Structure 1
Amino acid sequence: MQPWEVHAVKYADRNARTRRDSFVFDDNHDAPHAMDYFIWVLRQGDRVILVDTGYDDAEAAARGRPIRMDPRTALAPLGIIPEAVRDVVVTHLHYDHAGGLHLFPNATLHMQAAEMAFATGPCMCHDHMRAPFTAGHVCEAVRRLYSGQVVFHEGDAELAPGVSLHRIGGHSRGLQAVRVLTGAGWMVLASDAAHYYENVLARKPFPIVVDLQDMLDGFDRLLHLADRPELIIPGHDPLVRQCFQTGVADHITRLDTGPIRKVPG
């Protein structure tokens, strides 16, 4: 199989966080702990698969969480025209991963059936469960469903040669990771199955969790899916930009060539 290019595109960050926000069990909860926000791009020749969409200025204003650049602007250095994107993997429907679905109007969405059921089901009666979701983003996914632009997956599925989807759960009921063949080996875009290297490598759960056992079992699954631990790409860790090389712009990191320095842990 032909390997894929993989790019991590940073569009936002939150630096006023502490380790309390990132780890359930930790000895230094008050220490600063920054978070980066990414969209991921898979490219093989003319084919492009987008993994998640970020969120836009309207969502940033509503949540008081500013973004550094609109997702469309962030993707522009890679030559990506939003209207031309045909496939978007929705790892889960939290606002920072599905808040830009409307920016890619012609794309087919690939998501786990369990995630749609979760985001539109009885669990959303609880304030804490629905807090990471935004109704408009979920409604956009439903609109796409009714226009024939959603493909549901149940567990593991092949999206393309060298690209597969794997339901992990834990953080959200239908959370999925993406396994992709690269020049460095089989890589796993963990999304929020591991926000940080430390989550998976030190087995420290993230505080936003639906099922703790699924989250912990998911750490083992990520290690099994990747050729080696350094090819697990956490969903929000600023260390990704330090461990891999800068791509075509300062906010874009090239992943498929492998790490340029040792991954922590």
Structure 2
Amino acid sequence: MSWEVFALRYGDRTARVRGDSFLFDDDHAARHPIDYFIWLLRRGEETILVDTGYDAEEGARRSRPIQRDPREALAPFGLAAEAVDRVIVTHLHYDHAGGLHLFPNATLHIQAAEMAYATGPCMCHDALRMPFTGDHICEAVRRLYSGRVVFHQGDGQVAEGVTVHRIGGHSKGLQAVRVRTEVGWLCLASDAAHFYENYRAAKPFPIVVDVEEMLEGFATIQALASAPGLVVPGHDPLVRTLFPSAGPEAWRLDRGPIRDLPAM
């Protein structure tokens, strides 16, 4: 039985330029907006949340306000935050793990390498610590000590038809999610590719721990998907035009794109 997959947008940031998105580029000053998503997997009564976004308090702290609380994004699907029992954490950056506390009953699926990285000596460096927030990491550790963390090391299975795959590059334990859908295997790349242009043109994102891993990851996420249109980047506004609407600020991914990917 295949899964339904939805991209749920909780925020955006328009005051960005291409230099914020591409390590090497020919026009770093050109405008380049970003969207913020979480993803919902659904199969009958079974649900899995991929990432949690961040809340208004974190938005204020970073001067990056959100449009709606991530919990509100689930309401149209009849899903309360307290009912979420599994969260795949693609990595522990603030915009992906900043809402862990909003889903208090969830068991977290995370790469062991990511927890080690976010709690280890690398965090002594301001530049590496910048995308993380201490309270979010503490919440992950609290969840671990309450017996509600499942660690994966490389490839792992979360449910039948849902697997995770360590990519690295952007963060040491970054993982992509592979989901079986009615049109084949869909790859939720998360930040293995923020934008289509990152992986399709082999342009690294500037926040990077290992450039080689990031570049190799571009090939991996494409291999995980059954077709080119089934790789879904983590932050690209193009997702909203390539996939059909599933309600306000929601797009359905599991039936594939409704138009071809633009040339890059």
TM-score, L = length of structure 2: 0.99
Displacement of 1:203: 0.5
- Tell me how far apart the structure 2 counterparts of residues 138 and 154 of structure 1 sit (CA, whole Å): 19
Where 2:101 maps in the other structure, the secondary structure is: helix
* 1:168 and 2:158 aligned: no
| Unmatched runs of 5 consecutive residues or more in structure 1 | none
- Tell me how far apart the structure 2 counterparts of residues 32 and 184 of structure 1 sit (CA, whole Å): 34
Contact 1:7 1:252 (8 Å CA) reproduced = yes
Q: Which residue of 1 aligns with 2:212?
A: 213
| Unmatched runs of 5 consecutive residues or more in structure 2 | none
After superposition, give the CA deviation of every residue in 1:117-159 in whole Å (9 maximum; x if it has no partner).
0000000000000000000000000000000010000000111
- Tell me how far apart the structure 2 counterparts of residues 15 and 184 of structure 1 sit (CA, whole Å): 33
* 1:253 and 2:251 aligned: yes
After superposition, give the CA deviation of every residue in 1:81-132 in whole Å (9 maximum; x if it has no partner).
1101110000000000000000000000000000000000000000000000
C-alpha RMSD of the superposition:
0.6
Q: Which residue of 2 aligns with 1:14?
A: 13
- Tell me how far apart the structure 2 counterparts of residues 34 and 64 of structure 1 sit (CA, whole Å): 15
After superposition, give the CA deviation of every residue in 1:63-95 in whole Å (9 maximum; x if it has no partner).
110000001112111111110111000000000
Identity of aligned residues (%): 66
Q: Which residue of 2 aligns with 1:75?
A: 74
- Tell me how far apart the structure 2 counterparts of residues 264 and 108 of structure 1 sit (CA, whole Å): 38
After superposition, give the CA deviation of every residue in 1:37-82 in whole Å (9 maximum; x if it has no partner).
0000000000000000000011011111000000111211111111
Partner AA of 2:111 in structure 1? Q
- Tell me how far apart the structure 2 counterparts of residues 229 and 254 of structure 1 sit (CA, whole Å): 17
- Tell me how far apart the structure 2 counterparts of residues 217 and 80 of structure 1 sit (CA, whole Å): 36
Q: Which residue of 1 aligns with 2:187?
A: 188
Where 2:141 maps in the other structure, the secondary structure is: helix
- Tell me how far apart the structure 1 counterparts of residues 262 and 212 of structure 2 sit (CA, whole Å): 24
Q: How many residues align?
A: 263
TM-score, L = length of structure 1: 0.98
Where 2:204 maps in the other structure, the secondary structure is: coil
Displacement of 1:250: 2.0
Extract structure 1 runs of 4+ deviating beyond 2 A.
none
